């Protein structure tokens, strides 16, 4: 059994890792497409600006075969890159990691080559243009998710600027140190931004997944604990199961759209009540609702919270029926069963669909107790364990011992009337 559990956990982790790698690869491909278009736009704008300036000033750049070959080669590389990242490249973590390295070195090689050719032609490149060029190289890493790409482009730019300063005879070491420090700061800022953005989206995804069934304050505590509270546990909890009476008959006379709209409104209100009492909205079962108190966040008053939620659900049902009566629509009734017992709680499912749930006899018994509400002519029934754990603040009657399906011994149940001291 332990071996099967280990295999299952390992398989889930592998599936999760594969899904995360696929998302990262897709994001990296989208980023590389953005870089490819930015590179092409840069070349076209520089070419157009150079032509306009030369025409307005009636000047020409010194003819150089090496410069023409370098520009032609880089433009060809740029155009081919645009085509490749859009037509040929598929999301691949290996490609997302190593292909950008070749792009970084080609970009840096072109910038350094331009400066070297300018020196051979007797031109003096402007220092600020050199620094801005390599700042652009680092900025390309904004669209790349890997920290290694940012570090590589930053270090390569710093080395290139220092080398160009040496070739050009810019002997001022202060300028060189200042320029390299600015490039380093730019690289650090981009690395931090990339990392923070990725972490932020991971936190948002985790928070949205947890918020589907946990109240906000519990989600905050779960995230603060690093997810340790979602580990499998065996614990005493209180389970609430509710159901709409005669829903099948009721829905037969309603269009499907009206049925869905009714359930959407109903579950919206009832789910809000559960979360308001810091309960876990475990799942919707057709027209039924399963909620749990005591997991994943430990609560000493879980039974009291569950009974309070049941009473508030009854109150909300009365309000909804009043609105339906005004609209000329027949009302509805619900049955609620509350039971305190021991369950096993934890995450179940694969990487594609996982949920935090509870299993055990306590869950089944809560459902059976809810089934007794119609038979006993009441809407809220609590088991003896739930009543003893949280019934001191409520009024109710001991209905008696009832037999339920699947259990040999009778179950003592209490009909919950309301809050103690309330009319």
- What pLDDT score does 393 carry? 87
Is the separation of the CB atoms in 243 and 287 below 8 Å? yes
* Tokens 């923070």 found at: 196
Radius of gyration of the chain (CA): 34
Angle, vertex CA 338, rays to CA 334 and CA 344, nearest 5: 125
CA 201, 207, 211, 217 dihedral sign is negative
Q: Is 333 exposed, middle or buried (0-12, 13-18, 19+ CB in 10 A)?
A: middle
Question: What is the number of alpha carbons within 13 Å of residue 115 lying toward its C-beta?
Answer: 25
pLDDT in tens, the chain (423 residues): 334 343 344 444 445 555 566 667 777 788 888 889 998 998 898 888 878 877 777 766 666 788 888 889 999 999 999 998 888 777 776 777 788 888 889 988 888 888 888 778 777 777 888 888 888 888 888 887 678 888 889 998 898 888 888 877 765 787 788 888 888 998 898 888 888 877 777 777 777 767 665 656 666 766 676 656 667 889 999 999 999 998 988 888 889 899 999 999 999 999 999 989 989 888 888 899 999 999 888 889 999 999 999 999 999 999 999 999 998 888 999 999 999 999 998 877 655 566 778 899 999 999 999 999 999 999 999 999 999 998 778 999 999 888 888 777 889 999 999 988 766
- What pLDDT score does 6 carry? 39
On whether the pTM is more than 0.75, the answer is no
What DSSP line would sit under 111-167, residue for residue?
A: HHHHHHHHHHTT----HHHHHHHHHHHHHGGGG---HHHHHHHHHHHHHHHHHHHHH
Length of the chain measured in residues: 423
What are the backbone angles phi and psi of residue 399, rounded to the nearest 5°? Answer: -75, -40
Max distance between CA atoms of the chain, in angstroms, equals 105
Output 124-129 pairs: Cβ under 8 A, ≥24 positions apart.
124/168, 125/164, 125/168, 127/165, 127/168, 127/170, 127/175, 127/179
Cis peptide before 296 (omega within 30 of 0): yes
CATH for 231-419, among 3.40.50.1000, 3.90.1150.10, 3.30.70.1230, 3.30.1360.10? 3.30.70.1230
- What pLDDT score does 236 carry? 95
CA pair distance 222, 203, nearest whole angstrom? 12
For residue 409, count other CB atoms closer than 10 A to its CB: 8
**Per-residue 3-state assignment (H helix, E strand, C coil) for 298-353:** CCCCHHHHHHHHHHHHHHHHHHHHHHHHHCCCCCCCEEEEEEEEEEEEEEEECCCC
Structure tokens at 347: 């995450």
- Say what angle helices 302-326 and 256-276 make with each other, to 10 degrees: 140
CA pair distance 232, 206, nearest whole angstrom? 18
Is the separation of the CB atoms in 314 and 322 below 8 Å? no
Q: Report pLDDT digits (tens) over 279-291.
A: 988 888 889 999 9
Q: Report pLDDT digits (tens) over 169-205.
A: 765 787 788 888 888 998 898 888 888 877 777 777 7
Give start-end residues of each CATH 3.30.70.1230 domain in the chain.
231-419
For residue 236, count other CB atoms closer than 10 A to its CB: 15
CA pair distance 171, 144, nearest whole angstrom? 35
């Amino acid at each position: 059994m332990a071996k099967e559990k280990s295999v299952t956990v390992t398989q889930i982790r592998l599936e999760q890792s594969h899904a995360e790698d696929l998302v990262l690869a897709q994001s990296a491909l989208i980023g590389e497409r953005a870089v490819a278009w930015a590179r092409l736009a840069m070349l076209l704008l520089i070419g157009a600006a150079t032509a306009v300036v030369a025409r307005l000033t009636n000047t020409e750049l010194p003819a150089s075969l090496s410069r023409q070959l370098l520009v032609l080669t880089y433009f060809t590389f740029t155009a081919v890159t645009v085509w490749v990242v859009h037509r040929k490249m598929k999301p691949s973590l290996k490609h997302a990691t190593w292909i950008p390295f070749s792009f970084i070195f080609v970009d840096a090689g072109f910038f350094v080559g331009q400066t070297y050719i300018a020196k051979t032609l007797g031109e003096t490149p402007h220092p600020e243009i050199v620094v801005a060029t390599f700042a652009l190289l680092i900025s390309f890493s904004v669209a790349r998710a890997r920290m290694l790409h940012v570090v590589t482009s930053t270090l390569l730019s710093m080395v290139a600027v220092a080398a160009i300063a040496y070739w050009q005879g810019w002997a001022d070491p202060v300028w060189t140190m200042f320029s390299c420090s600015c490039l380093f700061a730019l690289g650090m800022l981009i690395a931090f931004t990339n990392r923070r953005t990725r972490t932020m989206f991971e936190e948002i995804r985790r928070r949205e997944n947890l918020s589907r069934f946990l109240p906000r304050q519990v989600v905050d505590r779960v995230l603060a604990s690093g997810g340790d509270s979602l580990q499998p546990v065996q614990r005493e909890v209180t389970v609430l199961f509710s159901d709409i009476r005669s829903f099948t008959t009721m829905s037969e006379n309603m269009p499907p759209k009206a049925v869905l709209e009714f359930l959407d409104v109903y579950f919206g209100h009832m789910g809000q009540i559960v979360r308001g009492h810091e309960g876990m909205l475990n799942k919707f079962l057709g027209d039924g609702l399963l909620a749990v108190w005591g997991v994943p966040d430990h609560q000493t008053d879980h039974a009291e919270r569950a009974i309070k939620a049941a009473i508030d659900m009854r109150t909300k049902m009365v309000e909804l029926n009043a609105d339906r009566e005004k609209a000329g629509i027949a009302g509805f009734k619900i049955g609620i069963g509350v039971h305190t017992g021991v369950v096993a709680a934890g995450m179940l499912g694969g990487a594609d669909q996982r949920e935090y749930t509870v299993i055990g006899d306590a869950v089944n018994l809560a459902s059976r107790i809810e089934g007794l509400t119609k038979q006993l002519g009441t809407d809220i029934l609590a088991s003896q364990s739930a009543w003893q754990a949280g019934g001191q603040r409520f009024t109710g009657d001991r209905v008696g011992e009832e037999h339920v399906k699947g259990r040999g011994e009778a179950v003592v149940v209490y009909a919950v009337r309301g809050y103690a001291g309330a009319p």
